[in-house]
Chain A
Amino acid sequence: EDKVVQSPLSLVVHEGDTVTLNCSYEVTNFRSLLWYKQEKKAPTFLFMLTSSGIEKKSGRLSSILDKKELFSILNITATQTGDSAVYLCAVGSTYNTDKLIFGTGTRLQVFP
C-alpha cells in the first residue's frame, strides 16, 4: 500500500533557528513529491520535486529529493513566527491520475 511518512510530528523552535522536516515515501511508480504549508485553511503550494539531487529554493525555504533512498527534506532557515504552520508532504504517481497521497504533516511552532 502506498504511504507517506513525515517526521517529526511536531517541532517547537525559537525565531532564528533552522529546522529540517523529513518525508519518506513508498509509492508505486513515483512521479513527483510536493510540499505544502497549511496555516488555518487551504494548503498553499511550496515546492514540487521530480528529480533527485536538485535543490529547489524559495527565500529561506529549500527542499531536495532523494529518489534512491525515497525521501525528501524541507529546510527552513532563520525561522520566523510566520513560519508556524503544518507542513504537508504529498506524493503523486505516474498513473493517469492527479491523486496525491499525503503524510500526516509536521506541526511547526516558532516562538519569539
Chain B
Amino acid sequence: KAGVTQTPRYLIKTRGQQVTLSCSPISGHRSVSWYQQTPGQGLQFLFEYFSETQRNKGNFPGRFSGRQFSNSRSEMNVSTLELGDSALYLCASSRAQETQYFGPGTRLLVL
C-alpha cells in the first residue's frame, strides 16, 4: 500500500510570494492533517480536514489556508510568505481517529 505522498519535496521562495503544497493520503484514509515543524517550536498543528470539511484549525494566521478534495487529496496554501514560515511542512493521514501516518514533508525555505 502506498504511503502518504507530498509534493514538492523542496521549495525556495522569497518574502511576499505565495506557495501551495500538496498531499495525497493513503488510499482509504479520509482524514488529512497538516503540521509545521521548526527547530524552535517542534511540531505544531495547522489544520485538519475530513470529507472535504475543515474540522479543526491551529493557532496560525489567516495567511495559512487549506482545502480537501473529494478524493481526499489536500492542499495547503501560504500567502504573503515571511521568513519565519521557513519550515518542514508535514501532512498526515488516517482513518478517522486512528493512527496518523506521515508523509515525507515539504521543506520550504523563504529568502
User: Known interface pairs A43-B90, A102-B43, A104-B42. Does A97 touch B55 (Cβ–Cβ under 8 Å)?
Assistant: yes
Which of A43, A96, A100 contacts B33, CB < 8 Å?
Answer: A100
A63-B96 Cα distance, complex, nearest whole Å: 23
Q: Is the interface of A mostly helix, strand, loop or mixed?
A: strand
How many chain B residues touch the partner (CB < 8 A)? 26
How many chain A residues touch the partner (CB < 8 A)? 22
A97-B105 Cα distance, complex, nearest whole Å: 21
A-B contacts, 29 of them at CB < 8 A, read A31-B97, A41-B88, A41-B104, A41-B105, A42-B102, A42-B103, A42-B104, A43-B90, A45-B100, A45-B101, A45-B102, A92-B97, A96-B55, A97-B56, A98-B31, A98-B50, A98-B55, A98-B56, A98-B96, A98-B97, A98-B100, A99-B48, A100-B35, A100-B43, A100-B45, A100-B92, A101-B45, A102-B44, A105-B42
Contact residues of B with A, CB < 8 Å? 4, 31, 33, 35, 42-45, 48, 50, 55-56, 58, 88, 90, 92, 94, 96-97, 99-105
